[in-house]
């Protein structure tokens, strides 16, 4: 695998046609300093304060970002991790960051129309890798998981400096051009399968707070391992033309939480805040998510496991907890007790 530095498209900001043509060619844009660095730093500092309160950091006195306390390493579904992460994610200005005017100007220029910002932003707080840390996301395309508009793009931005060895995003340039790719089983990916793509050339590199990577819903990408001594903190969010269809899962929660629960922790309970329920005031078309392809993949995993394919282990672990139906969860659990899988020691984590 050859690691090539991201192609820097910052000089094209302001020229929507050139940005669109670069995105169509490479499947991603690397735009440096697009988000206001002081705003990013303020959000990061509040997240670090919560991390410190949770005992995730070693004491620090200098101006350097604090080191993680390896004794506190945690991840989904550890309830302690989930509770702290939820408090971090609720930060009102973390959400506001992904609505920064400079970013929205680039995106509306790319779409040629106003932007729908998906409200369900993703905050990733990754402890340094150790024996119990789960694998990285693995090579994937976003479209199968979100559906809705094929013109959706993701924006990924670090809240701390990242490099290829400390969790920088990696993308496969031009991989979007083949459309939706078949999947292959992979025990080295968080969900147990990944896009069947050519990974001989990978674009990655150092990214600093304020930098963004914009990529299409079909661009194959992956997080990379955090081999560093600090927390790797990033946010990713999806954007689409407002006139395209969107699936409910991009807007509302599917786990019993409500946005009102979130806003209760915002200043004035979110009342009068332009970010509160903003998508409900837009002329959007909500369409059903088709669970068919996902459920077909789960059946393929179970068939592969029944045929004794050891590459199905990770996917079985995920299905046994998060499988789409009761029968699949039961069957995956039973298969994990049988050879060649036996008892598993790898913790199952959120497939997010």
- In the complex with ligand AKG, the residue whose CB is nearer, 166 or 234, is 234
Contact code string over 229-268 relative to ligand AKG, x by CB under 6 A: -----x-x--------------------------------
CB-wise, 194 or 298, nearer to ligand AKG? 194
223 binds ligand AKG (CB under 6 A): yes
- As measured in angstroms, the least distance from the Cβ of 209 to ligand AKG is 15
Q: Is position 147 an interface residue for ligand AKG (rule: CB under 6 A)?
A: no
Binding of ligand AKG by 94 (CB under 6 A) = no
Q: Strand 221-222 to strand 28-31: parallel, antiparallel, or no bridges (unpaired)?
A: unpaired
Binding to ligand AKG (CB under 6 A) within 311-340 occurs at none
Q: Which of 26, 142, 194, 211 is the binder for ligand AKG (CB under 6 A)?
A: 142
CB of 231 to ligand AKG, least distance (A): 13
Binding mask 95-134 for ligand AKG (x = CB under 6 A): -----------------------------x----------
Distance of CA 290 to the CA centre of its chain: 20
The reply on whether position 141 binds ligand AKG by CB under 6 A is no
Residue whose beta carbon is closest to ligand AKG: 223
Omega prior to 119 cis, within 30 of 0 = no
Question: In terms of CB distance, is 92 or 221 closer to ligand AKG?
Answer: 221
Would strands 201-204 and 2-5 be described as parallel, antiparallel, or unpaired?
parallel
Q: Which is nearer to ligand AKG, 137 or 349 (CB)?
A: 137
* Residue numbers at the binding site for ligand AKG (CB under 6 A): 124, 137, 142, 154, 156, 169, 221, 223, 234, 236
């Amino acid at each position: 695998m050859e690691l090539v530095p991201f192609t820097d498209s910052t000089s094209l900001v302001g020229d929507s046609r050139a940005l669109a043509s670069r995105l169509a060619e490479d499947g991603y844009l690397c735009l440096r300093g697009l988000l206001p660095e002081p705003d990013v730093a303020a959000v990061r500092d509040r997240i670090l304060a919560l991390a410190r309160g949770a005992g995730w950091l070693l004491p620090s006195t200098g101006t350097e970002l604090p080191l993680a306390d390896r004794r506190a390493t945690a991840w989904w579904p550890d309830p302690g991790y989930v509770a702290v992460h939820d408090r971090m994610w609720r930060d009102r200005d973390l959400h506001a960051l992904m609505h920064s005017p400079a970013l929205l100007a680039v995106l509306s220029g790319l779409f040629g129309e106003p932007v729908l910002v998906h409200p369900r932003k993703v905050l990733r707080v990754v402890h340094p890798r150790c024996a119990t840390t789960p694998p990285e996301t693995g090579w994937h395309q976003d479209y199968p998981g979100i559906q809705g508009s094929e013109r959706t793009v993701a924006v990924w931005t670090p809240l701390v400096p990242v490099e290829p060895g400390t969790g920088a995003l990696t993308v496969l340039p031009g991989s979007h051009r083949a459309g939706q790719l078949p999947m292959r089983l992979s025990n080295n990916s968080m969900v147990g399968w990944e896009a069947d793509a050519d990974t001989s050339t990978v674009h990655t590199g150092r990214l600093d707070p304020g930098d963004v990577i914009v990529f299409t819903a079909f661009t194959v990408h992956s997080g990379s391992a955090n081999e560093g001594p600090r927390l790797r903190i990033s946010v990713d969010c999806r954007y689409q033309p407002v006139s395209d269809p969107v699936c409910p899962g991009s807007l509302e929660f599917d786990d019993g939480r409500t946005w009102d629960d979130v806003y209760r922790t915002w200043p004035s309970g979110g009342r009068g805040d332009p970010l509160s329920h903003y998508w409900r005031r837009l002329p959007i078309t909500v369409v059903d998510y088709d669970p068919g392809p996902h459920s077909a993949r789960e059946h393929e995993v179970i068939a592969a496991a029944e045929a004794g394919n050891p590459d199905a282990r990770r996917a079985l672990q995920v299905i046994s907890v998060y499988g789409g139906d009761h029968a699949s969860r039961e069957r995956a659990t039973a298969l994990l007790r049988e050879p060649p899988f036996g008892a598993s020691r790898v913790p199952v984590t959120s497939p997010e």
